[in-house]
Structure formats: C-alpha cells, structure tokens
Amino acid sequence: LFEDPRLRKYLTLNFIYGIAMSFAWPFFPLVITHRLNMKIWQISSLSLASALMNTLTQRRMGGFMDRMGRRPIVVFSRVLMAVAPVAYALAGQWWHVAIAELFLGLGMAAWQSSESTYIIDLAPGDLRATYLASSTAAFGLASFIGSNMGGAVVDSFFNGMEGLNMGLFISSALRLGAGLAFLTMTESMGRAGKES
C-alpha cells in the first residue's frame, strides 16, 4: 500500500490538510452561539444553504473532472474551504454565514466528487477500498489532531474567546497553504482524458 509514491504523497497532503481544516472546527460553534446568538432555524439554514449548493453542483463537478483532470478540482475544493473561517470571523449577522455556506457547498461538491475519484484512479483494482480507507483514516486522525491543536493554540496564546478571530484567520491561512500544496500531487488522468 505505502509503496505507491502517488498514494503516499496524497496521504501526506491529505493529512496536512486535515490538520489545517479542522484547526477552526472548535471555533465555528462559538461564533454561532456566543457571537451571533443564532436561533435553531438559522443554524438549520446554514446546513440547508450548503447542502443545496452541494446538490446542485456535484454532478457538474464530475463533468469538470472528466474534462480538466482530477487535480484542478481537488485544488479548487481545498482552496475554497479557506473561505469558511474568514466568513465566520467577519460575520456580523447570521445571513453572512449563510451566504458563505453557499460557496462552501460548492467546495464540498468538488471535494466529495474528487476525493474518491482520485483515489480510485490511483488504486489497483483489488486495492480500491484499501486506498480509500487509508485516505479517510489519515484525514480522520489529522482532524482529531487539528481540532485539538486549534483549541489549545487559541486558549494558550490568544486568550481564549478574545482570540477567536485570530484562530479563524490562522485556520484560513493554513487551509489556503495546504490547499495550494495539492498542486504538487500527481494528476491521475492522462491528456486524452484517460486514467494514467
């Protein structure tokens, strides 16, 4: 499994991105409840906005991947996720976050379409489930580390709730940097639109 250099590189990138992405996870509920004092229906609308955009765009993402390759969509999906922490940091009203969730739904559509497709492209036929499981396990471990790290950093260095925005901005920068690092991953499709 780990003898495949393309998979090894992707797992490393995915692990780093998992830390970067989850760094902000402890802060989102604090913005929703303590800063914006959102009602339950407003919180529900965030999920609705994201899911709606995800549903409307996911099929199109598959078509883009088949024409452009996997890597551009993977990079796009990861970089677009840098919007979330900034939106939460700057939000003064609940609907500011709801608008951002529309963009995040697009990013999630790209992510969900590209993640498994890329891994399946890389894997030999008898190892597809193993390759995919290794990717999700790496991301799961990374998100455990990243969310704990985010909370610890903001509590220790930025005075807890007072440093909430700093934690969100750090996460956004980490997401952007780690997302752009996916430019170094191997493209799994050849020029003719075939798996390489």
Instruction: Tokens for 124, please give them.
Output: 């030999």
Instruction: Enter the tokens of residue 31.
Output: 């913005």
The reply to whether 175 falls in a domain is: yes
- Sequential DSSP letters for 80-123: HTTHHHHHHHH-SSHHHHHHHHHHHHHHHHHHHHHHHHHHHHHS
Percent of the chain with pLDDT over 90: 85
Q: Rounded mean pLDDT of 30-39?
A: 95
The answer to whether position 27 is within a domain reads: yes
Residue 145: per-residue pLDDT: 98
The answer to whether position 194 is within a domain reads no
Per-residue pLDDT band for 2 (boundaries 50, 70, 90) equals confident
What are 64-97's pLDDT values in tens digits? Answer: 999 999 999 999 999 999 999 999 999 999 999 9
- Distance, in Å, from the CA atom of 179 to the CA atom of 14, rounded to the nearest integer, reads 9
The rounded distance, in Å, linking the Cα atoms of 163 and 17 is 22
Distance CA 101, CA 80 (A): 11
**Token code pair at residue 126:** 């008898």
Residue 181, both tokens: 């690092």
The range of the structural domain enclosing residue 19 comes to: 5-182
Residue 192 lies in a domain: no
Number of domains present in the structure of the chain: 1
Mean per-residue pLDDT, 183-190? 87
**89-145 pLDDT tens trace:** 999 999 999 999 999 999 999 999 999 899 999 998 899 999 999 999 999 999 999
What's the alpha-carbon Rg for the chain, to the nearest Å?
A: 17
CATH number of the domain bearing residue 152: 1.20.1250.20
Contact present, 132 and 119 (Cβ < 8 Å): yes
pTM of the model: 0.91
Are 69 and 9 in contact by the 8 Å Cβ rule? The answer is no
Which sign does the torsion angle of CA 38, 163, 142, 65 carry?
positive
Residue 187 lies in a domain: no
Does the residue 20 lie in any domain?
Answer: yes
